[in-house]
Amino acid sequence: MSIKSRALKLLLPLVIVVLAVAGFQYLKKTKPQTPPAQIQERAWTVELMSLHPADWQPEVVLYGTVASHQRIVYQAPLAAQLSAMPIKAGQAFKQGELLFALDQKEIDLYRVNAQAERSEVQAQLQAEQKLQQVERQRLTKEQALLALRQAEFKRNQDLQQRNLASESNVDQVRDALVRQELAVMNSQLAIDQQQAKIAQLNARLAKAEVNLARTELSINRSAQIAPFDGRVLAVHAAEGETLAANARILEVYPLNSLELKAKLPVAYRETVEQALNTGLSVQAQFTQFGESFYLTLERLAGETSASGIEAIFSLDSDLVARPGDLWSINLQLPKLSSVYAVPYSAVYGNQQVYVVEDNRLVRRDIALLGEVSHQDRKWALVKGDLQAGESLSITRLPNAISGLLVKPQMADAMRGQP
């Protein structure tokens, strides 16, 4: 092979590589230029309402339990058989109706026994009083005899001093005098003992009188007549059952003793308490069977807690209620002036809302004052850094933040006006 052909064979690959690089550079320089991508900020569609301050009466939803402040438990006053039990658990009764009765024959025996105990003590007392009268008469005679013995002893002493009586005669008279003094002392002691026994019998008689009076009271309670219109909570005994004294029979409550106890949050306690102290009527609305009732707040409980205080409402007699019922009521608070009613969708965390300025959200801090029924739903009553005529965003946005770009749409049907 010649030198020329060998050189050509070596240079040909190099020429090909150089031509390829030159062609790539030419194509790179002559390719069409793509314009840079432009990033546009997204605008979120929101509905707006115009803010207008007004006077509103706020409402607070409370949850309470019906209870009776007068639960009465009837017990057997005496041990006897339950002869009549005409009512059952849950049954309503009228004033004057028979609730229960014990066997009258057994009850009468208690009266006879108590009267017999009193008569026995009375007889013992009368006998002791007669004995005391006899002892007093005996004492009088013993004292008279003592006076004679004393006079005889003095006379004998005088005769002895004149040597007209012997010493033995004086000793005999002295002995008789001492015995008579002892007789008087024994008679007086018997009277004192009788007086103590009479005092004891008087005490026993007083106890017997008390026992008879207590027995009469128990007998009067052995047939219980309803003192009010009420309802039976529970029945603890059956007709025909033999009951021990103080055994439970019935548990009832008056119909007019029912009330509703609901927890009032701490945030509203001061407002409600001021209204009560100034004599204002605070009421709550309750709907039952499609009919609205108004419950009057009677008082607040005497004890509070960190979660609130118990508010106690009286119940209308037309309401159908039983202890243990759970009710939801709308408490109507005193009217507020110049506050804003807004949908709950506009409120974030009960502390802030967003108004729209130049198509961007602007956060405003607010205080939640309660709620009100408006346009067939519940609206929040707020006050804070808000101005009349501002546009409030009422669309709930999970990414709401000040400065967020929005596309506003006015919701004309939703106006925060009463």
Calpha distance 36→41 (Å, rounded):
16
Q: Which residues of the chain fall below pLDDT 70? A: 1-12, 24, 26, 28, 31-39, 160, 164-166, 412-418
**Beta-ladder partners of 379:** 343, 372
Distance, CA of 158 to chain centre: 95
CATH 2.40.50.100 fits 72-100+224-253, yes or no: yes
Domain boundaries, the chain: 47-56+336-410, 59-67+255-332, 72-100+224-253, 106-220
Strand 72-75, strand 360-374: pairing: unpaired
CATH 2.60.40.650 fits 47-56+336-410, yes or no: no
- Residue-wise pLDDT for 265-288, tens only, equals 888 888 899 889 988 889 999 999
223: its two tokens: 């047939």
- Residue-wise pLDDT for 55-85, tens only, equals 998 888 899 999 999 999 999 999 999 999 9
Instruction: Select the CATH number that applies to the domain covering 59-67+255-332 from these four: 2.40.30.170, 1.10.3470.10, 1.20.200.10, 3.90.660.10.
Output: 2.40.30.170
- pTM here is 0.64
According to the model, what pLDDT value does residue 411 have?
A: 72
Q: Which own/partner pairs from 272-276 qualify as long-range (CB within 8 Å, at least 24 positions apart)? A: 272/297, 272/300, 272/311, 272/331, 272/333, 273/300, 274/334, 275/333, 275/334, 276/300
* DSSP assigned state of 9: H
Which amino acid is present at 289?
F
